[in-house]
Chains A and B, each alone.
Chain A
Amino acid sequence: MNSALRLIGRRAISSIPVLLIVVIGTFFLLELAPGDAVDAYLVSIGGGDAALTEQLRAQYGLDQSPLSRLWLYVTALLRFDLGWSVGFNRPISELILERLPNTFYLMGSATALSFVLGTALGIVSGARIGSLRDRLLSIGSLALYAIPSFWLGLVLSVVFAVQLRWFPTSGIETIASGKEGFDRVLDIARHLVLPVSALSMIYLALFLRVMRAGMAEIWRQDFVRAARAKGITRPRLVLRHVARNALLPVVTMLGLQAASMLGGSVVIESVFAIPGFGRLAQEAVGLRDAPLLMGIIVVSAVLVILVNMIIDLIYAFLDPRVGASERNT
Chain B
Amino acid sequence: MTQISRRSLLQGVGLLLASTALPSFAFAQDLPTGGRLVVAADSEPRNLNPAIVASNGVFFVASKIIEPLAEADASSEDGLAPRLATAWEGSSDGLSATFRLREGVTWHDGTPFTSADVAFSALEVWKPLQNLGRIVLANLEAVDTPNEHTAIFRFSKPTPFQLIRNALPVVTSVLPKHLYEGTDINANPHNAELVGTGPFKFAEYKPGEYYRLVRNEAYWGEGEPHLDEIIYRVLPDRAAAASAIEAEEIQLAAFSAVPLADLARISQVPGIKVIPEGYEGLTYQLVVEINHRREELANVDVRRAIAHAIDKKYVVDTIFLGYATAATGIVPHNAPEFYNPEVPQYDFDVAKANELLDAAGYPRGENGVRFSLELLPAPYFNETRQFGDYLRQALAEIGIDAQLVNNDSAAHQKAVYTDHDFDLAIAPPVFRNDPAISTTILVRSGAPVGTSFSNQGGYENAELDALIDQAAETVDTEERTQLYNELQVKVAEDLPLINVAEWGFITVARDSVLNVGNNPRWAVSNWADVAIQN
Asked if A46 lies at the interface with its beta carbon under 8 angstroms from chain B, I say yes
Q: Please name all residues of chain A whose beta carbon is closer than 8 Å to the beta carbon of B243 when the two chains form the complex.
A: 157-158, 161-162, 169-170
Contact A36 B234 (CB under 8 A): no
Asked if A245 lies at the interface with its beta carbon under 8 angstroms from chain B, I say no
Total residues of chain B contacting the partner, CB 8 A: 56
Contact of A286 among B56, B410, B418, B452 (CB under 8 A): B410
Contact B192 A89 (CB under 8 A): yes
Binds A, one of B4-12, B40-48, B113-121, B319-327: B40-48
Contact B234 A275 (CB under 8 A): yes
Contact B204 A176 (CB under 8 A): yes
Contact A46 B46 (CB under 8 A): no
Binds A, one of B346-354, B387-395, B443-451, B526-534: B443-451
Q: Please name all residues of chain A whose beta carbon is closer than 8 Å to the beta carbon of B55 when the two chains form the complex.
A: 44-46
Contact A87 B247 (CB under 8 A): no
**Cα(A186)–Cα(B15), bound, Å:** 47
Asked if A122 lies at the interface with its beta carbon under 8 angstroms from chain B, I say no
Asked if B362 lies at the interface with its beta carbon under 8 angstroms from chain A, I say no
Q: Please name all residues of chain A whose beta carbon is closer than 8 Å to the beta carbon of B412 when the two chains form the complex.
A: 43
Asked if B345 lies at the interface with its beta carbon under 8 angstroms from chain A, I say no
Which residue of chain B lies nearest to A279 when distances are taken between CB atoms in the complex? B208
Contact A43 B413 (CB under 8 A): yes
Contact B414 A34 (CB under 8 A): yes
Q: A46-B430, A53-B450, A176-B204 are in contact. Are A39 and B234 (CB under 8 A)?
A: no
Contact A165 B247 (CB under 8 A): yes
Contact B235 A273 (CB under 8 A): yes
Q: Please name all residues of chain B whose beta carbon is closer than 8 Å to the beta carbon of A37 when the two chains form the complex.
A: 410
**Cα(A310)–Cα(B234), bound, Å:** 36
**Cα(A162)–Cα(B245), bound, Å:** 9
Contact B413 A35 (CB under 8 A): yes
Which residue of chain B lies nearest to A170 when distances are taken between CB atoms in the complex? B240
Contact B46 A50 (CB under 8 A): no
Contact A42 B452 (CB under 8 A): yes
Asked if B131 lies at the interface with its beta carbon under 8 angstroms from chain A, I say yes
Contact of B409 among A50, A170, A171, A286 (CB under 8 A): A286
**Cα(A95)–Cα(B249), bound, Å:** 26
Asked if A118 lies at the interface with its beta carbon under 8 angstroms from chain B, I say no
Contact B411 A33 (CB under 8 A): yes
| Residues of A261-319 whose CB lies within 8 A of B | 270-273, 275, 279-280, 285-288
Q: Could you tell me the distance in whole angstroms from the C-beta of B284 to the nearest C-beta in chain A?
A: 11
Asked if A183 lies at the interface with its beta carbon under 8 angstroms from chain B, I say no
Interface 0/1 of B402-419, CB less than 8 Å to A: 000001111111110011
Interface residues on A, range: 35 or more
Q: Could you tell me the distance in whole angstroms from the C-beta of B200 to the nearest C-beta in chain A?
A: 15
Contact A286 B239 (CB under 8 A): no
Q: Please name all residues of chain A whose beta carbon is closer than 8 Å to the beta carbon of B407 when the two chains form the complex.
A: 34
**Cα(A87)–Cα(B45), bound, Å:** 9
Q: Could you tell me the distance in whole angstroms from the C-beta of A114 to the nearest C-beta in chain B?
A: 24
Interface 0/1 of B394-437, CB less than 8 Å to A: 00000000000001111111110011000000000010000000
Contact A287 B450 (CB under 8 A): no
**Cα(A194)–Cα(B413), bound, Å:** 37
Asked if B79 lies at the interface with its beta carbon under 8 angstroms from chain A, I say no
Contact B237 A270 (CB under 8 A): yes
Asked if B53 lies at the interface with its beta carbon under 8 angstroms from chain A, I say yes
Which residue of chain A lies nearest to B236 when distances are taken between CB atoms in the complex? A273
Asked if B361 lies at the interface with its beta carbon under 8 angstroms from chain A, I say no
Q: Please name all residues of chain B whose beta carbon is closer than 8 Å to the beta carbon of A53 when the two chains form the complex.
A: 450
Q: Please name all residues of chain A whose beta carbon is closer than 8 Å to the beta carbon of B240 when the two chains form the complex.
A: 169-170, 271-273
**Cα(A51)–Cα(B134), bound, Å:** 12
Contact of B207 among A49, A95, A172, A288 (CB under 8 A): A95
Contact of A35 among B204, B235, B380, B410 (CB under 8 A): B410
Contact of B43 among A35, A44, A89 (CB under 8 A): A44
**Cα(A321)–Cα(B210), bound, Å:** 53
Which residue of chain A lies nearest to B407 when distances are taken between CB atoms in the complex? A34
Interface 0/1 of A88-129, CB less than 8 Å to B: 111000010011000000000000000000000000000000
Asked if B38 lies at the interface with its beta carbon under 8 angstroms from chain A, I say yes
Asked if A168 lies at the interface with its beta carbon under 8 angstroms from chain B, I say yes
**Cα(A101)–Cα(B402), bound, Å:** 46
- 4 tightest A-B contacts by CB? A275-B208, A35-B414, A35-B410, A40-B410
9 A-B pairs within 8 Å (CB atoms) are namely A34-B407, A35-B413, A37-B410, A48-B131, A158-B243, A161-B243, A170-B237, A271-B240, A286-B409
**Other A-B pairs, 8, CB within 8 Å; known A43-B380, A48-B452:** A33-B410, A34-B419, A35-B415, A44-B43, A168-B247, A169-B249, A175-B210, A286-B408
Please report A residues at the B interface, Cβ cutoff 8 Å. Answer: 33-37, 39-53, 59, 87-90, 95, 98-99, 154, 157-158, 161-162, 165, 168-172, 175-176, 270-273, 275, 279-280, 285-288
